């Protein structure tokens, strides 16, 4: 991890500052008051303990760890069917409006491919619960010369200080996050006043259609209620709210800003 970003981090449990220390087992982030350690593996700070995850988040972690070696292949095949990956991803990425010098956070960054299609003149940070996906993101970062700071953490408990980011977005995970309201509140907490934000995910039409595919069936069946855009969960300081359907109604894209 890049030490220049240490001041942006905090203990996601009690929000205390963190110090970076070297140990015999490698670098560790340590809570300044509590002494709580958070290991740094392959340059990625680890802020989760799998045994402490909620059932839904642990299911997501295990699912994407298993799928990680094949996920990029399945994505590439899907986007070829839709007429090209850059065109298809830009259907939602165009809404984040990244400008030169922005500090950008992608929640549930997965293998990091969204960032490949975003402007290089920004600072990128990615959070995910899946170690397998984060490792794939590292490989993609090296292959394409991307610059992404990665963290293993839950969307409901982000390891960042308040008002740290100019842009915060989440693609293809809000449907499966255990506490959606908490995750969205965390997006607002770490966003600067006036920050641009976006949430995109599959509509009910798309999500239930995956039941035809055995690899997805158990995961999709974990959805207890019908999928819907979480506009009703946005806090009172959300402004410029806009909801669009993209990909022929298979995805929703919810755009908003944090009030200045």
Q: Is the pLDDT of residue 97 over 70?
A: yes
- Domains in the chain, ordered, with CATH? 43-258 (3.40.50.150)
Are the beta carbons of 1 and 45 closer than 8 angstroms? yes
- What does DSSP assign to residue 129? S
- Stated pTM of the model: 0.93
Mean of per-residue pLDDT scores for the chain: 91
State the Cα–Cα distance between residues 208 and 159, nearest whole angstrom. 33
Q: What is the model's pLDDT at position 166?
A: 98
Closest-CA residue to 196 (of 242, 249, 155): 242
Q: How many angstroms separate the Cα of 68 from the Cα of each of 122, 135, 136, 137?
A: 26, 9, 7, 10
Q: Is the pLDDT of residue 220 over 70?
A: no
Please give the structure tokens belonging to residue 9. 């981090």
State the Cα–Cα distance between residues 179 and 185, nearest whole angstrom. 10
pLDDT tens track for 135-177: 999 999 988 899 999 999 999 999 999 999 999 999 999 998 9
Report the half-sphere exposure of 32 (CA within 13 A, side-chain side): 9
The proportion of the chain whose per-residue pLDDT surpasses 70, expressed as a percent, equals: 93
State the Cα–Cα distance between residues 212 and 205, nearest whole angstrom. 13
DSSP 170-210: EES-GGG-S-HHHHHHHHHHHEEEEEEEEEEEE-HHHHHHG
210-217 long-range Cβ contacts below 8 angstroms, 24+ apart: 215/67
Q: What is the model's pLDDT at position 176?
A: 86
Q: What is the model's pLDDT at position 1?
A: 79
Q: What is the model's pLDDT at position 26?
A: 92
pLDDT tens track for 98-124: 999 999 999 999 999 999 999 999 999
State the Cα–Cα distance between residues 206 and 211, nearest whole angstrom. 10
Q: Is the pLDDT of residue 214 over 80?
A: no
pLDDT tens track for 46-85: 999 988 898 889 988 998 999 899 888 888 887 888 788 9
Residues sharing a CB contact under 8 Å with residue 169, sequence separation 6 or more, in sequence order: 96, 104, 105, 106, 107, 197, 198, 199, 200
Please give the structure tokens belonging to residue 259. 């009030």
Q: What is the model's pLDDT at position 92?
A: 96
Question: How do 238-246 and 251-258 pair as beta strands?
Answer: antiparallel
Find the mean pLDDT for residues 19-38: 96
State the Cα–Cα distance between residues 47 and 235, nearest whole angstrom. 26
- What does DSSP assign to residue 6? G
């Amino acid at each position: 991890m890049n030490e220049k970003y240490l001041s942006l981090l905090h203990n996601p449990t009690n929000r205390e500052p963190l110090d970076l220390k070297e140990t015999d087992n490698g670098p560790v982030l340590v809570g300044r008051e509590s002494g709580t350690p958070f290991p740094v593996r392959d340059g990625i700070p680890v802020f989760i303990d799998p045994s402490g995850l909620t059932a839904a988040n642990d299911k997501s972690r295990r699912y994407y760890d298993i799928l990680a070696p094949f996920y990029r292949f399945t994505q590439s095949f899907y986007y070829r069917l839709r007429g090209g990956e850059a065109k298809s991803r830009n259907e939602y990425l165009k809404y984040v409006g990244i400008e030169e010098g922005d500090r950008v956070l992608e929640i549930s960054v997965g293998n990091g491919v969204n960032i490949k299609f975003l402007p290089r003149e920004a600072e990128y940070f990615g959070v995910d619960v899946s170690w397998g996906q984060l490792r794939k993101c590292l490989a993609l970062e090296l292959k394409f010369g991307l610059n992404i700071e990665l963290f293993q953490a839950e969307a409901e408990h982000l390891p960042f200080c308040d008002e740290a980011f100019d842009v915060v977005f989440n693609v293809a995970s809000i449907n499966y996050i255990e506490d959606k309201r908490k995750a969205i509140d965390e997006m607002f907490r770490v966003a600067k006043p006036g920050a641009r934000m976006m949430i995109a995910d599959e509509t009910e039409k798309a999500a239930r259609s995956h039941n035809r595919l055995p690899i997805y069936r158990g995961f999709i069946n974990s959805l207890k209620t019908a999928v819907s855009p979480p506009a009703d969960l946005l806090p009172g300081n959300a402004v410029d709210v806009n909801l669009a359907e993209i990909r022929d109604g298979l995805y929703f894209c919810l755009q908003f800003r944090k009030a200045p």
